[in-house]
Amino acid sequence: MALKRPQSLRELALEHLRSNIVNGTLKMGQVLSERVISEELGVSKSPVREALAQLRDEGLVTIEPQKGAKVFTLSSEEVAQICDFRQAIETAAFELALSRNPDKLASDMEDVVAKMADAQNKGRMVTYLALDTTFHELIFKHCENDYLAASYSRYVGKIAALRTHLSDLPKHTDLSFDEHKLIAKAVRKGDEKKIRRLLAEHIDRTRQVYTHANTDAAAS
């Protein structure tokens, strides 16, 4: 039996911070104190600083000279760019996955959708949102293209954090889940035209919902 390599202090801090940003424990725009984080984890400031630098590269943290670090925030324009990115890269990966591993992609998506339904019924929102991320990662798992997978992986944390942020909005998660079910059914049928349409609608709704939420907040 192979021994599991222990986490480095940097990896410990990185996993802790990334998880708390993605699941919404650390809110968008929240100031991050190296001292507080290091005390919470029982480590020095050095691994925390290294972890924050990595999260900056992933777009989850912003770091300004003399001001320090804080969790990222997003304008409607940035969300639109994320949606453009997802539309382009997920469509490309989907086409490859459907041509290379259609049956496995379909069965894996159906399995994740079933788990999403169970999590939703039991009110386990953190689990549900993690499964939502897994659903989209399956596209890249089965496309068998390391470059597409790596490009998506670079921003998957930011996409997941945005997903968590939107989950508080009325009916958003219910509508999103219905879309996942429809996509999985289309994948089983191999209906590429329908998949492309459903995916475009699914991603574009994120753009619309975020824009409307920000507009309503500004008007209140």
pLDDT score of 54: 95
Is 151 contained in some domain?
A: yes
CA distance linking residue 12 with residue 19, whole number of Å: 11
The residues that bridge with 31 in the sheet, in sequence order, are 70
Neighbours of 129 (CB within 10 A): 23
Q: Calculate the alpha carbon distances from 173 to 170, 194, 218 in Å.
A: 8, 21, 23
State whether 60 and 160 are in the same domain.
Answer: no
Asked if pLDDT for residue 5 goes beyond 80, the answer is no
Judge contact between 76 and 181, C-beta under 8 A: no
CA distance linking residue 101 with residue 103, whole number of Å: 6
Is 2 contained in some domain?
A: no
All residues at 6 or more sequence positions from 210 whose CB lies less than 8 Å from its CB, including other chains: 74, 76, 79, 162, 166
Closest to 64 (Cα-Cα) out of 31, 22, 21, 26: 31
pLDDT score of 16: 95
Neighbours of 2 (CB within 10 A): 4
Of 22, 50, 71, the residue at which a domain comes to its end is 71
Percent of the chain with pLDDT over 70: 94
State whether 188 and 91 are in the same domain.
Answer: yes
CA distance linking residue 38 with residue 63, whole number of Å: 17
State whether 80 and 141 are in the same domain.
Answer: yes
Q: Calculate the alpha carbon distances from 130 to 18, 101, 103, 180, 191 in Å.
A: 13, 23, 23, 14, 26
Give the model confidence (pLDDT) of 187-214 as tens digits: 999 999 999 999 999 999 999 988 877 6
Q: For residue 138, what is the domain's CATH number? A: 1.20.120.530
- Which of 5-14, 44-53, 117-126, 178-187 is the least confident region? 5-14
Of 71, 98, 125, the residue at which a domain comes to its end is 71
All residues at 6 or more sequence positions from 170 whose CB lies less than 8 Å from its CB, including other chains: none
Residues 151-170 have a mean pLDDT of: 92
State whether 81 and 138 are in the same domain.
Answer: yes
State whether 20 and 58 are in the same domain.
Answer: yes
Give the model confidence (pLDDT) of 61-98 as tens digits: 999 988 899 999 999 999 999 999 999 999 999 999 99
State whether 32 and 119 are in the same domain.
Answer: no
CA distance linking residue 120 with residue 173, whole number of Å: 9
Q: Per the structure, how many domains does the chain have?
A: 2
Residues 37-53 have a mean pLDDT of: 96
Instruction: Note down the domain range covering 142.
Output: 76-214
Asked if pLDDT for residue 3 goes beyond 50, the answer is no
pLDDT score of 67: 87
Asked if pLDDT for residue 2 goes beyond 60, the answer is no
pLDDT score of 213: 76
Residues 86-112 have a mean pLDDT of: 98
